Amino acid sequence: MSNSTDKTPKPRAALEGIRVLDMTNVLAGPFATLHLALLGAEVIKIENPADGDLARKLGNVPKLNRELMGTSFLAQNSNKKSLTLNLKAPEGREIFKKLVATADVLVENFRPDVMKRLGLDYPVLAQINPRLVYCAISGFGQTGPDAFKPAYDQIIQGLSGVMAINGDERLNPLRAGFPVCDTVGGLNAAFATLAALFHRQRTGEGQFIDVSLLDSIMPLMGWVAANLLIGKQQPVLMGNDNFTAAPSGTFVTRDGYINIAANKQEQWEAVADLLGVPELKTDPRFQERDNRKKNRKALTPLLEAKLKEKDTAHWVELLNRNDVPCGAILSLENALNQPQVQHRQTLQKVAVEGIGELQLFGLSAKLEKTPGGIKAPPPRLSAHTNAILTGLGYSQDDLNRFKEARII
C-alpha cells in the first residue's frame, strides 16, 4: 500500500486571478461584488478612511454598528479585502490610478457625475487600462431625464410598478418585504460583468457597463406586463392568489396556511379527489381553467372547508405524494433551518474576529468543476490597506505619510 499523500490539485474557483475594485456602498453594488468574490475573484473594497461603507453602521445590533461591522455590512461582504483611500486628495487619486492599472473590473454605484468630477470616469481609466471592465450601477442609469435623481430601493419599487401590483383591495400599494430592486440590480450587474469579461477574453478589450435598478426590476414583471402590453389587460390585485391558474394560491388549514399550485388540469382534479370533493370536477364553474379563475372566490371557500379539517403537515404530505405542488408557509427562522436548506449548505459558517462564528449566505449555484463559496470573513475597515499598497510598491515610510495626511 502506498503511503504517498493525495496530490490531486484543488479545483480552481471560476474567477480566480480576476481583480475587482469595489467602490460600492450599501446593497446593490456590494451584492454584485459579493457574487464575484464568491466565484473566486479578488475583490478589493475601496472605502473612505473615516467610516467606510454606510452599511457598516446599518443593522439591528448597535454594538456592531459602533464597531463599523453592522449586520447589513456582514451580509454582503464575505471574501473581500478592505482598502481605505481618500479619493478627494490628489495623491489618493494617484494611488487609485496605480491600482486601476492592475485591475480587471471596477464596480461603482455613485450618481452618474461623481466619478467624472473626481477625474476618474471610464474614459480616463480606460486610457490607463484598456482591458478594464467598468460597471456603473445607479437608480436610473447614466442617461435619460431621471439619471441624476437620487434613488433607494423603496423609490424604485414605487416607480417600477412593483408596489402597485402587490397586495389586495385591503392593502395596496404594498412594497416587497426585502430590497428586491437592489438585490436584482446587483445580480444584473454581476451577470453583465461576467459577459463583459468573456468578451474581453475573446477580443482583449474592456468596456463600460451601465446598470439601472429601474431597468433591472421591470423585466421581472414580464408576465404581468405582457398581459397589459399584449393582452390589453390591466393588472388585477390578487393578494396571495396566482393569476395564471386556480386553485393556485394560499389557503387556510386547521392550524395555519398552505400554498397550493394546481396549475394543470390533472393537478386540479387530484386536489378535488384528495380533498373529498370530486363533484367539483364536473361543476360548470370549475371544469375548465378559465372558468375556475373567474370563479375562484366561489371555489376557495369550498376547498378551505375541507382543508380546515386537518393540519397543514397532513395536506402537504398527501398532496405532494400525489404530485400536486404545495408547501407550508414558513417563518424566516424556520425556512433557514429546514432540512433542504441545510443539506444544500445555503448558509455557511464563518468566524469573524471579535464577533464570533456567523452564518452567512454563500454561493447558491453549485458549480461542479469550479466550486465557489465563503473563504474569508467580511473585513474590518482598512484591514488590507498596508498589504495592498505595499504590493503596489509603496514603502512603510509612504504608508506612514499617507496615514498622517489622512489619505488612507
- Of 347, 350, 345, 346, residue with least CA distance to 377: 350
Stated pTM of the model:
0.92
Q: Which CATH architecture has domain 257-328?
A: 2-Layer Sandwich (3.30)
Grid look-up 474569508 returns 376
Contact residues for 376 (Cβ-Cβ < 8 A; gap 6+): 78, 79, 80, 350
Domain extents in the chain: 19-220+347-404, 257-328
pLDDT of amino acid 10: 79
- Tell me whether the CATH fold assigned to 19-220+347-404 matches the one assigned to 257-328: no
Q: Is the pLDDT of residue 6 over 70?
A: no
Mean pLDDT of the chain: 95
* Residue 182: active-site member: yes
For helices 180-203 and 153-160, angle between their N-to-C axes, nearest 10 degrees: 90
Q: How do 207-212 and 133-138 pair as beta strands?
A: parallel
In this structure, are residues 100 and 128 in contact, taking their beta carbons and an 8 Å threshold?
yes
Q: How far apart are CA 170 and CA 349, in angstroms?
A: 41
What does the pLDDT look like over 277-316, one tens digit per residue?
A: 999 999 999 999 999 999 999 999 999 999 999 999 999 9
- Mean pLDDT, rounded, for 33-45: 98
**CATH for 19-220+347-404?**
3.40.50.10540
- Of 26, 32, 82, residue with least CA distance to 59: 26
pLDDT of amino acid 101: 98
Catalytic-role residue among 104, 121, 182, 210: 182
Q: Is the pLDDT of residue 125 over 80?
A: yes
